[in-house]
Amino acid sequence: MAKAAKLSDKHQFILYSLYKYLTAINRRFENEPLEASIMKIDFINLLLDLKIVEKSERALYQNLEDLENQRYLRYEAHFLKFTTKGLKLALQIEKKNLPFLKLWEQIDKDEVKILKSVQSYFK
């Protein structure tokens, strides 16, 4: 049985970005029978507006199409949805990166304490 091709870092980044966005938005609806989703063009515009990608709108659209073709996402009624395979990969990415994210959050949260305790010198 042939092993599936590994997803590129760019594709993983886009998949994980969508996961984090939808997770954050869905927190609003924790106690409601609702689930947020996003249109493809709105997600592309979000990534472009945040300036976290250096791709054109067309390139991002193509990356989302690739994720759909590889069955990580599906496009349903004009909205992006995760497949089971896509959600599983997004959770794996989060598990792999969680120690780094926690470290960054902790440093960011305690920045004043950390900066006071660090010895600095002139070059």
Rounded Cα distance, 10 and 121, in Å: 38
pLDDT at residue 1, as a whole number: 36
Supply the pLDDT for residue 2. Answer: 39
Looking at per-residue pLDDT, the higher value among 54 and 109 belongs to: 54
Report pTM.
Answer: 0.77
CATH number of this structure's domain 9-117, picked from the four choices 1.10.10.10, 1.10.260.30, 3.40.50.300, 3.40.50.1370: 1.10.10.10
| pLDDT value of position 33 | 85
Instruction: State pLDDT tens for residues 47-88.
Output: 999 998 888 999 999 999 999 999 999 988 889 999 999 999
What are the boundaries of each domain within the chain?
9-117
- Phi then psi dihedrals of residue 70, to 5 deg: -90, 5
